[in-house]
């Protein structure tokens, strides 16, 4: 049985392995056996920390969402125009793609109908949180004059989120970050004041 001292390290190792597998293969295309083999542990030890794959999936989304929210807070903490914030936001996606991975919630959205309900809810929450943050940035851009938003900021925010997620999907089979960056740049240029 794990001790209190090694439990966090074990949980983080499990989550790190599962996150990499999810972002490269998808949720339905990896198993506890894959993680156990990679980490050199038994499947029983994985079940000790995460009784089922649904619980593992929820933990993955929770951790990913928390890290993404922290990145957004870091962007907000800087002395940036709204345009600069949108560029920093797009860079978050580019960094994930640069690591030959996909946005976790983007890849889960592709598998949405097959996910357990709590995971579906967590994916929606991730996208809603991002859309609200983007809408606030768009409003800031209207106010500081760095952006020209000609429609409802919530609708434009949804378009930004959809563009970046879609650009990741299209760039992935090509293994070409430049394809993603071109789509992001075009989207940002369309909002320039």
In tens, the pLDDT along 90-137 reads 999 999 999 999 999 999 999 999 999 999 999 999 999 999 999 999
**Closest to 183 (Cα-Cα) out of 136, 165, 175, 174:** 165
Contact 81, 75 (CB under 8 A): no
State percent of the chain over pLDDT 90. 94
Kindly tell me if the per-residue pLDDT of 8 is higher than 80. no
pLDDT of 1 reads: 43
Average confidence score pLDDT of the chain: 94
Residue 5 confidence (pLDDT): 53
Coil, strand or helix at 78: coil
Helix H segments across 78-113?
A: 82-98, 104-110
- Going along the chain, which residue ranges are E strands? none
Q: What is the pLDDT of residue 119?
A: 97
Question: Which residue, among 107, 87, 66, has the nearest Cα to 160 in the 3D structure?
Answer: 87
What pLDDT sits at residue 173? 94
Q: Is the Cα dihedral 1, 59, 27, 38 positive or negative?
A: negative
Which superfamily does 57-189 belong to? Answer: Tetracycline Repressor, domain 2 (1.10.357.10)
Domain boundaries, the chain: 57-189
Instruction: Give the model's pLDDT for residue 3.
Output: 46
| Residue 193 confidence class, pLDDT cut points 50, 70, 90 | confident
Helix, strand or coil, per DSSP, at residue 111: coil
């Amino acid at each position: 049985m794990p001790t209190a001292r090694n439990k966090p390290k074990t949980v983080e190792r499990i989550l790190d392995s599962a996150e990499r597998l999810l972002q490269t293969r998808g949720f339905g295309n990896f198993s506890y056996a894959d993680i156990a083999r990679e980490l050199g542990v038994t499947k029983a030890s994985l079940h000790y920390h995460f009784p089922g794959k649904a619980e593992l999936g929820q933990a993955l989304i929770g951790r990913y969402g928390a890290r993404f929210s922290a990145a957004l807070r870091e962007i907000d903490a800087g002395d940036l125009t709204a345009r600069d914030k949108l560029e920093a936001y797009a860079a978050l996606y580019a960094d994930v793609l640069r690591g030959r991975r996909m946005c976790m919630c983007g890849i889960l959205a592709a598998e949405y109908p097959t996910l357990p309900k709590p995971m579906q809810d967590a994916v929606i929450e991730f996208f809603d949180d991002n859309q609200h943050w983007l809408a606030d940035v768009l409003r800031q851009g209207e106010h500081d004059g760095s952006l020209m938003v000609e429609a409802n900021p919530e609708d434009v925010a949804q378009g930004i989120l959809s563009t970046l997620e879609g650009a990741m999907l299209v760039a992935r089979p090509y293994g070409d970050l430049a394809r993603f960056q071109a789509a992001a740049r075009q989207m940002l240029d369309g909002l320039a004041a």
